[in-house]
Amino acid sequence: MELSVETLMITTGGSRIAVLSEQTASQLGVHSSDRIKITYNNQERIAIANTADYFPHNRIGLYREAVAALGVKEGETVDVQLAPLPESLFNIRAKLHGERLREKDIDAIVKDVVERHLSTVEIAAFLTALSIHGLSTAETEALSRAMIGTGKTIDFGAGPILDKHSVGGIPGDKTSMLVVPIVAAAGFTIPKTSSRAITSPAGTADRVETLCPVTLSIDEIKATVKKTGGCLVWGGSLELAPADDLFIQVEYPLGIDPMLLPSILSKKKAIGATHVAIDIPTGMGAKIKTRQEAYTLASDFVDLGKRLGLNIQCALTFGDQPLGRNIGPALEAKEALTTLMGGGPPDLREKAISLASMLFEMVGVENPRGMAEEMIDSGKALAKLREIIAAQGGNPNVEPQDLPVGPESAAVHAKEGGRVLWLSTDDIVRIARLAGAPKEKGAGVILHAKLGDTVRKDGKLLEVYAEKASKLSAALELANQLSPIVLSKKPEEKMVLDTIPEKTTHEKAFQLDR
């Protein structure tokens, strides 16, 4: 059926959507959410139909994505037909019924996700079914390969390509900002792509962005790595696994993360990594709560790595509290710099050295831990970070005190004295985000009391930093309501951690940051 095009200059943020009047749709035999085949200039494109009672007859409204895909203009004529249901939808339905999918079934789904042949409703059902039924090793491998196959890859040439990744989960984890320069300073190649925060107060890309640009093209990344051996860039715009970018959009409101393994390893494979250290923070304050869960995840990582030709080692790391003391993009960049300069909190230094030496061991360095320590203590890692900052377009001479934090800040004090019994990382995340992190880079929290520390009555528990006074006071109010740092002289004196329903809100934390 020939229809005249009306261009709707609005994006849908995902699927290609076309609007038809109820009458025109009914003539085509099309229901809302059916797929239609639009032909223009001998090109065929699939779109998903929305029907509307008020829309003019014999016209088709196309959102920006569909207009761009067809290259059509307002008022031009296109041919429109009901399209058959894509095979991939039957694969999704099979997964809903608990069936195992074959490699070609998964290929079809991922291809149709990337080509926008599946609606967000269908993607949501797929991810929900994966989350409930779980994935077999073969399915995980097929998903990883399909995601690599539909994305771009970067070739950094011969030699081992090292990489490090955290499954995410504890605030203040700026380890990558230390591991990359340590490894590159030792002469290895480590092209690190990172994410921005989704649910946390800072992602590595947010932290590094306070020092230099992180949105680099593939060519700029290659040049940086060629020059310095490493990089610290944002992976989000590189289309290394475009399917995953669409999956994340749907996972975020649902609070599910069934694609953790293929999501991470497809991106590692796409940049040609050969040796990868995976950090699995484990504990009350992390995404992974128990050791059992962490061991299972670790062995899944190692297995999947083998299948994909990646050499993987995992580290279960202490996840009962934030890493270091600073939380928020600029505050964390400051702490990372200070630690490379020989100061900083001991837990951050220890974790960075451990992960770097794990990588050194994997590639056969003789005294791996000694090598990692030497890179910091000699100042070589700091010099390497400055080289990377310069190569990415930042100021290599930046000093910790140059990074603007605040300017608004205030402290929260202890109402009684005691020893820190536990910290709620979820609450600390909420306070830092309410203060403005990660969007306002100077916002965040500095912890003055961590596990085991003793605090006097009226002593500082934490400081809140914000760019705006209104956000500072909102964050302070929340901090006083939530009491994220719990003190006690002895554990047995404070056995009740929370009472229900007295807790201020029921908002349950979900961490999508990887």
Please count the residues of the chain. 514
**Residue 69 makes contact with a second copy by CB under 8 A:** no
**89-to-50, 94, 110, 152 alpha-carbon distances in Å:** 18, 9, 11, 25
Kindly identify the residues of this chain, within the stretch 20-49, that bind a second copy according to CB under 8 A: 26-27, 29, 31-34
Binding-site member from 255, 343, 417, 491 for a second copy (CB under 8 A): 255
Question: Backbone dihedral region of 229: left (phi > 0), alpha (psi from -120 to 50 degrees) or beta?
Answer: left
**Residue 61 makes contact with a second copy by CB under 8 A:** yes
Q: How large is the greatest C-alpha to C-alpha distance in the chain, in angstroms?
A: 79
Which of 20/356 has CB closer to a second copy? 20
**Residue 132 makes contact with a second copy by CB under 8 A:** yes
| Given 173, 257, 347, 513, the catalytic residue | 257
Least spacing, CB of residue 417 vs a second copy, in Å: 35
Cβ atoms 36, 46 nearer than 8 A: yes
**Residue 87 makes contact with a second copy by CB under 8 A:** yes
Which of 245/453 has CB closer to a second copy? 245
Question: Which has the closest alpha carbon to 385: 205, 218, 233, 232?
Answer: 232
Which of 13/407 has CB closer to a second copy? 13
CB-facing half-sphere around the CA of 6: CA atoms within 13 A? 12
Query: What's the CA gap between 34 and 460, in Å, rounded?
Result: 60
**Residue 90 makes contact with a second copy by CB under 8 A:** yes
Least spacing, CB of residue 429 vs a second copy, in Å: 13
Fill in the amino acid letter for 162: L
Which of 52/401 has CB closer to a second copy? 52
**Residue 477 makes contact with a second copy by CB under 8 A:** no
Residue 257 is among the residues annotated as catalytic for this protein = yes
Count Cβ atoms below 10 Å from residue 186 Cβ, excluding itself.
Answer: 23
Least spacing, CB of residue 181 vs a second copy, in Å: 29
**Residue 68 makes contact with a second copy by CB under 8 A:** no
Tokens read off for 32: 């809302």
**Residue 262 makes contact with a second copy by CB under 8 A:** no
**Residue 473 makes contact with a second copy by CB under 8 A:** no
**Residue 89 makes contact with a second copy by CB under 8 A:** yes
Give the interface segment with a second copy, choosing from 115-123, 164-172, 414-422, 489-497 (CB under 8 A). 115-123
Mark 198-237 with x for binding to a second copy (rule: CB under 8 A) and - for no binding: x---------------------------------------
Query: What's the CA gap between 447 and 461, in Å, rounded?
Result: 6
Tokens read off for 381: 């890692």
Question: Which has the closest alpha carbon to 352: 338, 366, 331?
Answer: 338
Tokens read off for 369: 């831990």
- Look at the alpha carbons of 127, 83, 52, 61 in this order and tell me if their dihedral is positive or negative: positive
Cβ atoms 247, 263 nearer than 8 A: yes
Tokens read off for 331: 């505050």
Rg (CA), the chain: 25
Kindly identify the residues of this chain, within the stretch 415-454, that bind a second copy according to CB under 8 A: 433, 436, 439
**Residue 7 makes contact with a second copy by CB under 8 A:** no
Which of 61/191 has CB closer to a second copy? 61
Which of 119/189 has CB closer to a second copy? 119
**Residue 490 makes contact with a second copy by CB under 8 A:** no
Give the interface segment with a second copy, choosing from 6-14, 152-160, 350-358, 447-455 (CB under 8 A). 6-14
Which of 169/229 has CB closer to a second copy? 169
Cβ atoms 401, 395 nearer than 8 A: no
**Residue 122 makes contact with a second copy by CB under 8 A:** yes
**Residue 19 makes contact with a second copy by CB under 8 A:** yes
**50-to-22, 76, 115, 120 alpha-carbon distances in Å:** 9, 20, 18, 13
**Residue 256 makes contact with a second copy by CB under 8 A:** yes
**Residue 4 makes contact with a second copy by CB under 8 A:** no
Q: Decide: helix, strand or coil at residue 233.
A: strand
Question: Which has the closest alpha carbon to 314: 325, 298, 300?
Answer: 298
Kindly identify the residues of this chain, within the stretch 493-512, that bind a second copy according to CB under 8 A: 505-508, 510
Q: Provide the strand spans (E) within 331-459.
A: 408-413, 418-423, 444-447, 454-455
Which residues of this chain interact with a second copy, rule CB under 8 A? 8, 10-13, 19, 26-27, 29, 31-34, 50-52, 54, 61, 84-85, 87, 89-90, 92-93, 96, 98, 119-125, 127-129, 131-133, 198, 249-250, 252-256, 433, 436, 439, 505-508, 510
Catalytic residue numbers read 257
